[in-house]
Structure 1
Amino acid sequence: MKGIILAGGSGTRLHPLTLAVSKQLMPVYDKPMIYYPLATLLSAGIQEILIVTTAYDLPLFRKLLGNGSQLGCHFEFAVQDEPNGLAEAFLIGEAFIGNDKVALILGDNIFYGSGLAKLLQANNDPDGGIIYGYHVQDPQRYGVVEFNDRGEAISIEEKPKHPKSNFAVPGIYFYDNEVIEIARHIRPSQRGELEITDVNKAYLQKNKLKVSILDRGTAWLDTGTFSSLMQASQFVEVIEERQGLKIGAIEEVAYSMGYITKTQLHKLARPLLKSGYGAYLMRLN
């Protein structure tokens, strides 16, 4: 399975912070924002990843992440000229995806929780589509899943005025290769975008969509506003200071997944010693 991180857009809700730098390059406590979704894909067992961003920001992402070989991975980069919707990522990445299955994660979404990696790994070979449901207080801000009495998904609505449940769809999705053809045939919404909700509806109509519920011990953070960006940083700081363990450290995930050796890990850590980040990596067993 391959992965795509959607890290485009203009970040207007974070202006003036994002006038000169991509939102996904902004710090969330001690790491660039994109480290967190990247670590999520790596922990799901995905090593071939396409980063979709703007032409202006692409060189900066390439400078930050390189080609991925230092992490035992392979990274490619592509441009989304305009924010034409999440589903456009599958059309932009068609050649990259090839005949493989693909996971899409939003570059400003942070996931954290016990057992999350195992859940993602269990879903990285879908026959159809696999999305997630997460209980929220304000579902009208998101795509919302409706379930029947048997716990089966029966409808999905994008930002409904009257939500039929409190289960929002967070920004990580797993699909088989049919997603490319589905994305090609959906029509732009009233917002002029190719909506990921329409992709999910297409799979639902085929009875090929599975919705997995993220339990109450899982944190899902969206960092698209000033307050949510600050809250995410505070959340990461509290967990890391309390546990002495890092969230979203891509080098640690690559090492724990067996993508790199301890020698390679230490090589990555040495230039980062002064910040303390490298010292943390050096202490890993």
Structure 2
Amino acid sequence: MKGVILAGGTGTRLRPVTNIVNKHLLPVGPFPMIYWSILKLKEIKIENILIITNKDHLSHFIQLLGDGKELGVNLSYRIQSSASGIADGLLCAKTFIGTEKFVFLLADNIFEDSLESFIYKFENQKKGAKFILKEVSDPERYGVANIDRKSKKISSIIEKPKNPIFNYCVTGIYMYDHHVFDYIEEIVPSSRGELEITSVNNMYIEKSFVTYDILTGWWIDAGTHASLFTANKLIYEDLKKRGRKLGIYKR
């Protein structure tokens, strides 16, 4: 199985520093933010990883990460030509994935849990997608999964609902089969002019098969100054609890 990490975007909520630096290169703990997504994939033995970013920052990622050899992975790169949404960025991975299943991570999502048990279940899932959810206190800020109380299945995903019924947000951790690219090509831009990943996910719910799992540890979208600070605090607390440094480097 392969991995795809989206590390594009403009980082508007982290300006002014993101006027010159891609937000996924900002420090979270002792490493740049992008390292944590790579580490989570490496932990579950996914070593062929595609990083999608924008043309202005591609050289920075290559300078930092190269081909991934020092981290014990194999890195490839693609350019998202414009900030036209998460689904638009994911479409850049179509030829890299081919007909395989894969894990898709948003690089500004930092989380505690291992993906090992989730990926094991997805590998044994014959088709469709798996979404990873997290219970939050402010669901109106996120895409929220409506879960049918009888079947326990996701019935729909509502983006930033004003009066959410449930408080399980859809995190930036997705597992897809290759049909995701067909669905992306079917959707149209939203009112924001973007190809929305929520639209793709709702198509999966309607046309295919979707399962979900729930994170039990901490999770944070490190896309604001406050949440980036919190992510740093959580990472350092986790490292202190482990009582050791992470062996992220291959050498």
Q: Is the 8 A contact 1:26 1:32 kept in 2?
A: yes
Paired position in structure 1 for 2:140: 140
Q: Is the 8 A contact 1:131 1:210 kept in 2?
A: yes
Number of equivalent positions? 248
Q: SS of the counterpart of 1:169?
A: strand
Q: Cα gap change, 1:47/1:222 in structure 2, threshold over 3 Å: closer, same or farther?
A: same
Give the partner amino acid of 1:196: I
Q: Is the 8 A contact 1:45 1:121 kept in 2?
A: no
Query: Deviation digits for residues 92-132 of structure 1, max 9, x if unmatched?
Result: 1111111212221001111113xx23223314524200001
Paired position in structure 2 for 1:234: 233
Paired position in structure 1 for 2:117: 119
Q: 1:240, 1:72 → 2: CA distance?
A: 21
Q: How far apart are residue 42 of structure 1 and its match? A: 1.6
User: Residues 8-157 of structure 1 correspond to what in structure 2 (within 5 A)?
Assistant: 8-113=8-113, 116-125=114-123, 126=125, 127-150=127-150, 151-157=152-158
Q: How far apart are residue 206 of structure 1 and its match? A: 2.1
Q: How far apart are residue 87 of structure 1 and its match? A: 0.9
Q: Is the 8 A contact 1:43 1:121 kept in 2?
A: no
Q: 2:115, 2:183 → 1: CA distance?
A: 28
Q: Cα gap change, 1:231/1:72 in structure 2, threshold over 3 Å: closer, same or farther?
A: closer
Q: SS of the counterpart of 2:155?
A: strand
1:193 correspondence with 2:194: yes
Query: Deviation digits for residues 165-207 of structure 1, max 9, x if unmatched?
Result: 0000000100011111111111111111111111111111124
- Tell me whether 168-177 or 75-84 shows the greater mean CA deviation: 75-84
Q: SS of the counterpart of 2:194?
A: coil
Q: Is the 8 A contact 1:133 1:168 kept in 2?
A: yes
Query: Deviation digits for residues 7-32 of structure 1, max 9, x if unmatched?
Result: 01111111111111110000012110
Give the partner amino acid of 2:225: F
Give the partner amino acid of 2:119: Q
Query: Deviation digits for residues 201-224 of structure 1, max 9, x if unmatched?
Result: 111112401121222xx1111110
CA RMSD of aligned residues (A): 1.6
Could you list the runs of 5+ residues in structure 2 that have no partner in the other structure?
none
Give the partner amino acid of 1:162: N
Query: Deviation digits for residues 208-252 of structure 1, max 9, x if unmatched?
Result: 01121222xx111111011110111111112212331346x533x
Q: 2:153, 2:36 → 1: CA distance?
A: 30
Q: Cα gap change, 1:123/1:105 in structure 2, threshold over 3 Å: closer, same or farther?
A: farther
Q: 1:123, 1:34 → 2: CA distance?
A: 25
Q: 2:117, 2:136 → 1: CA distance?
A: 20
Give the partner amino acid of 1:228: S
Paired position in structure 2 for 1:222: 221
Q: SS of the counterpart of 1:165?
A: coil
Give the partner amino acid of 1:236: I
Query: Deviation digits for residues 234-281 of structure 1, max 9, x if unmatched?
Result: 11112212331346x533xxxxxxxxxxxxx4xx3xxxxxxxxxxxxx
Give the partner amino acid of 1:121: I
Q: 1:17, 1:72 → 2: CA distance?
A: 30
Paired position in structure 1 for 2:244: 245
Q: Is the 8 A contact 2:180 2:200 kept in 1?
A: yes
Q: Is the 8 A contact 2:99 2:177 kept in 1?
A: no
Q: Is the 8 A contact 2:134 2:170 kept in 1?
A: yes
Q: How far apart are residue 164 of structure 1 and its match? A: 2.2
Q: Is the 8 A contact 2:6 2:90 kept in 1?
A: no
